[in-house]
A = this chain, B = another copy of it.
């Protein structure tokens, strides 16, 4: 992934917010820590508050608390001070940091004479290749997503349309919020959180990141995108289905079958060694062959306006990217494959599955039936 990294790696932040640190340290606390890795050895500086926890759960890592380090007076009480103290302890003068390393700490370290290299790509590219344990964790989230999807689709299937085409269950309006709540409940039964779950209908489904609000309607597409995060280990799953209660318009039907065909083509292409860009180009080509254009229509971005997929793990979006960016699939990558079409006049359609890349192809992490009309 781009530039050759120096031997030593430095990360700074809360394990809860920095997947690199959580990946290495194996625990998640809200307060910031310093992580350094060199020649296969791992070091953490944590506050006194978290030291016992860190000692217990991160046995392969040498744990320091700031009071054990020699910190220059000017940097006492700062995280940069912890870093300088640890780097002195380890006799390190140059470290590689991630692109999102905080600028203030970077400036302070440089002033203190530390040479910082900024990684071009991921600081820990090994995170993209999943171990068996990681695959199992993602699969567990994916399984939770499948169960939640089934519940969501059951609700929509059970509903009846009123005269204004709004869906109702036992007379009560069925809203995005209701379905989202039901999804989150199922996810919780699997120890997952469902923050950000998308249940978007009609025109709302034409903006891929809108979560959806208000009544769901018959004859329009409803995009359901469930990306559960496990409450204990923090890994993610990602699953999208698009359903219509009633009768989709001919265009919506065409959109659905184009997306379905594009996903099938992309999946058929997936295996270790394949260029990620070629998967994305193929997906785009299939959608175009079905007659769907991408670009500005009426001044708005419409068509296939996102990438074909992304890696997933301790981040919901991580390397590799199935987009125009260069890259190559490797065995052990876990990626989403999620073509979509978005037109304000017709609504949105997206179908997404999460798969493990293997030498000869891929393995679905949890199978989910694909129904369109319910």
Task: Say yes or no: is A364 at the interface (Cβ < 8 Å to chain B).
Answer: no
Contacts of A31 in B (CB 8 A): 209
- Indicate if the CB atoms of A49 and B103 lie closer than 8 Å: no
Residue tally, chain A, CB below 8 Å to B? 51
Q: What is the copy number of this chain in the assembly? A: 2
- Indicate if the CB atoms of B231 and A300 lie closer than 8 Å: no
Nearest B residue (CB) for A295: B48
Contacts of A106 in B (CB 8 A): 103, 106
- Indicate if the CB atoms of B99 and A51 lie closer than 8 Å: no
User: What 1/0 flags go to A72-102 for Cβ under 8 Å of B?
Assistant: 0000000000000000000000000101111
Task: Say yes or no: is A274 at the interface (Cβ < 8 Å to chain B).
Answer: no
- Indicate if the CB atoms of A49 and B208 lie closer than 8 Å: yes
Contacts of A107 in B (CB 8 A): 118
- Indicate if the CB atoms of B103 and A51 lie closer than 8 Å: no
Nearest Cβ on chain B to A36's Cβ, whole angstroms: 16
Query: CA separation between A196 and B104, bound complex, in Å?
Result: 28
Task: Say yes or no: is A184 at the interface (Cβ < 8 Å to chain B).
Answer: yes
Q: A53 contacts which of B16, B181, B207 (Cβ < 8 Å)? A: B207
Nearest Cβ on chain B to A188's Cβ, whole angstroms: 5
- Indicate if the CB atoms of B97 and A317 lie closer than 8 Å: no
Contacts of A17 in B (CB 8 A): 17
> 17 A-B contacts, Cβ less than 8 Å apart?
A17-B17, A30-B316, A30-B317, A31-B209, A48-B305, A49-B301, A49-B305, A49-B306, A52-B206, A53-B209, A99-B103, A102-B103, A106-B106, A181-B188, A184-B231, A193-B193, A195-B231
